Structure 1
Amino acid sequence: MALNYKKSIGLFLLLSSIMSCKDKDVTLNVIDPGHFHASLLQKSSLEGVSYMVNVYAPQGEELEQYLKAIEGYNTREDNPTSWQEQIYVGDDFLSHLPKDSGHDVVMLAGNNRRKSEYILSSVEKCYNVLSDKPMAIDQDGWEKLKTSYDVAEEKELILYDLMTERYDILNNIVRDIVNNESVFGKFEYQNGPSVSMKSVHHFYKEVGGNALKRPEWYYDVTQQGEGIADVTTHLIDLVFWQCFPGQSIETNNVSIEKASHYPTWISRNQYALSTGADDFSPYLKQIEENGSIPVMANGSIDFKVFDMPVRMEVKWNWTPESGSGDTFEAVYNGTKVDVVVRQDASTDFVKSIFLTDDSLPTYNALKDILKKYPGVRAEYKKKEIEIIVPLECRVSHEDHFNMVASQFLKYVRGEEKMPLWEKSNTLTKYYITTKSVEMASL
């Protein structure tokens, strides 16, 4: 696909605006696609979405990688897409996003430093917004996010956080179990956290059989965000969504007990291998020590939701050991049984669910819960029950992006009404992450 850089796409936008909003498809506007999640949102065609896509971005390798990914989707043999990219390239790209009528969509996935600015600018110009996480990485960004939600509400727009984990079948099964008192009981508040989650990631790893290339800014926490401002967004969202389904959670319903952070040290050679750059960027040179840079990617947050204690921990290593990968563990402490989610060497790095009770009543009650999930079953193990979710019952993480986008578009088109708790819970989630970064830095 040849790069058709244009200084103006006014004619295309003018023709689009003449059409009736009721008759025309939604048009996607992609701003500064600096993360590979931007292209994942276009991995498949989206119903009711125009094949013409407007892209506004600075010149650079990140734009090239995004366009290369789209070209790959368009030219693959199996179910190719037919996206056509109308591109504006320049340092003033954001100012060239025209005003809209509230019909079309801005999609964001890239450098996080300006993301809250992009969100606010987009809703002020009357666009619905689907944003990759994190929507804010510091308190200033959180204040902009609050304003953005107010503007979106006033203009009757949809502002939506790209929370893919809600579409994982295992997370849905856990949600059903912890809300079933006959199996789980109630959350145990007295003996440590009611819910604890630990997520371990790696800077250098393979995705789809290829080494994942990181942009240089990924190693700058002022642009990417600290670990406790990034990965924890998914974890906190799961706690809200699984443990308090349908409930609005305001900032005065949570309290942050403590927060901590510490760095992963990345050598010049590791940085070069990951980014393709020969040396650290100038903005990283100032923190370099003995040929390495500290990346504040690790940390923990202890907080309460409606007095329920929760603990989050995130860790970033350089690269996984041979045969291993990212790991995850979550424990939901109930008065009758604990629910444990493991993704580590013991499960061959496949996420799995266990219940710390092998009694017949628990097993029978669990079978009733699992009836809504064809192919999923419970099996006795040593002193626990494992929920077997065959691979054919699972949807890939990449396909979750399309599922989120489809749900978002239903809200945009008015086919469904976005729940009121989405706004309050999203703002509270980012209040926790950004305030925790501030606390950890004291």
Structure 2
Amino acid sequence: MSLQHCAFLLLFSMVFYSCSNSDSGNGETSSNKFTGADGEVKLMTVDPGHFHASLVQKYGYDQVDSVAYVYAPDGSDGLQRHLNRIEQYNNRTEGPTNWVEEVYTGADFFDKMIREQPGNVVVLSGNNAKKTQYIKQSVDAGLNVLADKPMVIKPEKFPMLKEALSTAHENDILLYDIMTERFEITTLLQRALSQDTDVFGSIVEGTPENPAITKESVHHFFKYVSGNPLTRPGWFFDVDQQGEAIVDVSTHLADLILWETFPGKGIDTTEVEVVQADRWATEMTPSEFKKVTQIEAYPEYLQEDVSQDSILNVFANGSFVFTVNGIHGKVSVEWNYQAPEGAGDTHYSIMRGTKANLVIRQGEEQGYVPTLYVEPVDGNGGNDYEASLKSAVDEIAQEYPGVSMESSPNGWKIIIPDEHRVGHEAHFAQVTEQYLQYLKDGEIPEWERKNILTKYYLTTQAYQASR
């Protein structure tokens, strides 16, 4: 055989191998095959109008390439603030990151991202008006999606989200939302203690007036993020673009109720029902609006919510009660303009059991630090009960060293060392690491997938009921 013939056969075999292993025509993209190797995940951030987009990148990850791609419209009001935060993370003294942001701006920013696909994970955190559409188009294009909540803000878009979740599952695409509150230490311990029948007993069914599990949170429009005053875009105060609280922050609380009450179990939409819902407005003056947005006057899209005395009414508050297999849960979200001195966003939660209530308080008495209490009911609380609680706390301390208990007026307070209180911003890294593990595993657990759909079913049903 001649050398020319050998060379031809070698070239032919290389071309054949390349074609037979290409992604074209087989409906499966190599971008969805992850091994956990360094740099194999490449981020594409779409129109980062919310500061949560930058918090995904507050820390670096071995599995994530340092080059991140950003696609945004011309004149994006959040783009420069996003880039400034990334630069701040890169230049900090302690634990600097090394992100390189490749930015494209233009009216066709989303279509261009879909066409080019320089990355394999789409990060969505911004204006929510088109978020469900962006999710669906990204999934249809074979791209994994890590989305800030909410994934949907209007009931008419819920079928689109449902279809996107189904398509993602069928095609081994990972569609996931950022549920940071699961990583708050008091919530983790509340969940753990609720699984100990000697301490908690079993959860009661409750009623609409006195639910079995309640989650309430208070937020503030003006706040500090990464040490700097937060500037919010004007559209944040338009419920048609940001979404009302009942479909926005409520997503976290509905998620926690499913996650804590039925750990590791997927809840179907047929197993839940919204019982009642309500909404109300927060009033904001022109000077307050200017301070938090750096915008001189209310934009046109907000005019319908402005009263004759120039007060902006933001329907940022909402609550609803729902049942999960007969157990009543309540979600409530309130937005104020600014927290009192020394305070911040606060959380209250109670899980009511047959032996004890597990209560998280974060008020002035607690120094605005989330604090977990175990408060026995119906004659519990004697020496035997205290021994059972101590045994449960000692077991928890094996995973969270230093966790202990001390007496409180109505029972016991769980003592949590500061090392376990990593803070809200760090929770984004924890969620991202969970998502990276799911990418490596090649799937999102079934219970996670079912509960993603069900919690948005709840929030959109509550949206309708509130009217």
TM score, norm. by length of structure 1: 0.91
What is the one-letter code of the residue matched to 2:132? S
What is the one-letter code of the residue matched to 1:245? P
User: Which of 78, 92, 104 in structure 1 is aligned with 2:108?
Assistant: 92
Residue 220 of structure 1 pairs with residue 247 of structure 2: no
RMSD over aligned Cα atoms: 2.0
Residue 403 of structure 1 pairs with residue 430 of structure 2: yes
| Residue number in structure 2 paired with 1:34 | 49
| Residue number in structure 2 paired with 1:368 | 391
Residue pair 2:212, 2:327 contacting (<8 A) in 1 also: yes
Separation (CA, whole Å) in 2 of partners of 1:190 and 1:55: 47
Change (3 A) 1:61 1:423: same
| Residue number in structure 1 paired with 2:172 | 156
| Residue number in structure 2 paired with 1:339 | 358
Residue 317 of structure 1 pairs with residue 314 of structure 2: no
Separation (CA, whole Å) in 2 of partners of 1:208 and 1:44: 12
Question: 1:428, CA displacement in angstroms?
Answer: 0.7
What is the one-letter code of the residue matched to 1:390? P
Question: 1:21, CA displacement in angstroms?
Answer: 7.3
| Residue number in structure 2 paired with 1:10 | none
Question: 1:86, CA displacement in angstroms?
Answer: 1.4
Residue pair 1:102, 1:128 contacting (<8 A) in 2 also: no
TM score, norm. by length of structure 2: 0.87
Stretches of structure 1 that go unaligned for 5 or more consecutive residues are: 1-16
Residue pair 2:50, 2:125 contacting (<8 A) in 1 also: yes
Report the 3-state secondary structure (helix = DSSP H, G, I; strand = E; otherwise coil) of the residue aligned with 1:367: helix
| Residue number in structure 1 paired with 2:192 | 176
| Residue number in structure 1 paired with 2:347 | 328
Report the 3-state secondary structure (helix = DSSP H, G, I; strand = E; otherwise coil) of the residue aligned with 1:26: coil
Separation (CA, whole Å) in 2 of partners of 1:324 and 1:311: 24
User: Which of 162, 166, 179 in structure 2 is aligned with 1:146?
Assistant: 162
Question: 1:98, CA displacement in angstroms?
Answer: 3.4
Computing the radius of gyration over CA atoms, which structure comes out larger, 1 or 2? Answer: 2
Count residues with an aligned counterpart: 423
Change (3 A) 1:188 1:100: farther
Question: 1:296, CA displacement in angstroms?
Answer: 0.7
Residue pair 2:323, 2:329 contacting (<8 A) in 1 also: yes
> More deviation in 366-375 or 245-254?
366-375
Q: How does 1:279-428 map to 2 (within 5 A)?
A: 279-289=297-307, 290-357=309-376, 358-370=381-393, 371=395, 372=398, 373-414=400-441, 417-428=443-454
Question: 1:323, CA displacement in angstroms?
Answer: 2.8
> More deviation in 40-49 or 363-372?
363-372
| Residue number in structure 1 paired with 2:287 | 269
| Residue number in structure 1 paired with 2:18 | none
Runs of 4+ in 1 over 4 A off after TM superposition: 20-24, 99-103
Residue pair 1:35, 1:62 contacting (<8 A) in 2 also: yes
What is the one-letter code of the residue matched to 1:361? D
Question: 1:417, CA displacement in angstroms?
Answer: 4.2
Separation (CA, whole Å) in 2 of partners of 1:430 and 1:21: 28
Change (3 A) 1:142 1:434: same
Question: 1:321, CA displacement in angstroms?
Answer: 2.1
| Residue number in structure 2 paired with 1:430 | 456
Separation (CA, whole Å) in 2 of partners of 1:65 and 1:337: 46
Separation (CA, whole Å) in 1 of partners of 2:249 and 2:389: 30
| Residue number in structure 1 paired with 2:254 | 236
Question: 1:368, CA displacement in angstroms?
Answer: 2.3
